[in-house]
């Protein structure tokens, strides 16, 4: 199953990035450049979702981009992860 949530990236003067997922409480990421930040975002989103599904919690709805104000040095990017749903399936 592919799950996609938007992430807010903040670019810093030194070229590093950090960010967060508005819909995934406490899910943050960072990187020394954009590629590392994206990879970190993917890993953090995947881990956050895995914990929620393991605890039988539902996943939150996706925030409408118009509901979040971005600073001048911020931008949105949709981050998709693939989650393998194996529990309850015969192999």
With bands split at pLDDT 50, 70 and 90, how would you rate the model's confidence at 89?
low
Give which of 15, 20, 49 is closest to 34, Cα–Cα.
15
Residue 21 CA to residue 7 CA, distance in Å, equals 4
Q: How many helices (H) and strands (E) does the chain have?
A: 1, 4
Q: Does the structure show a pLDDT above 70 at 87?
A: no
CATH code for residues 2-82: 3.30.160.250
Q: Does the structure show a pLDDT above 60 at 91?
A: no
- Residue-range domain boundaries for the chain: 2-82
- What is the per-residue pLDDT across 5-56, written as a single tens digit (0 to 9) for each? 999 999 999 999 999 999 999 999 999 999 999 999 999 999 999 999 888 8
Q: Output 73 or 84, whichever has higher pLDDT.
A: 73
């Amino acid at each position: 199953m592919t799950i996609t949530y938007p992430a807010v990236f903040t670019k810093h003067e030194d070229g590093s990035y950090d960010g967060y997922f508005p819909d995934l409480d406490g899910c943050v990421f960072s990187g020394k450049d954009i590629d590392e930040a994206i990879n970190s975002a993917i890993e953090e989103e995947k881990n956050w979702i895995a914990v929620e599904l393991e605890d039988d919690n539902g996943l939150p709805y996706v925030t409408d981009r118009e509901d979040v104000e971005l600073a001048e040095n911020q931008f949105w990017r949709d981050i998709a992860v693939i989650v393998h749903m194996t529990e309850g399936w015969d192999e």
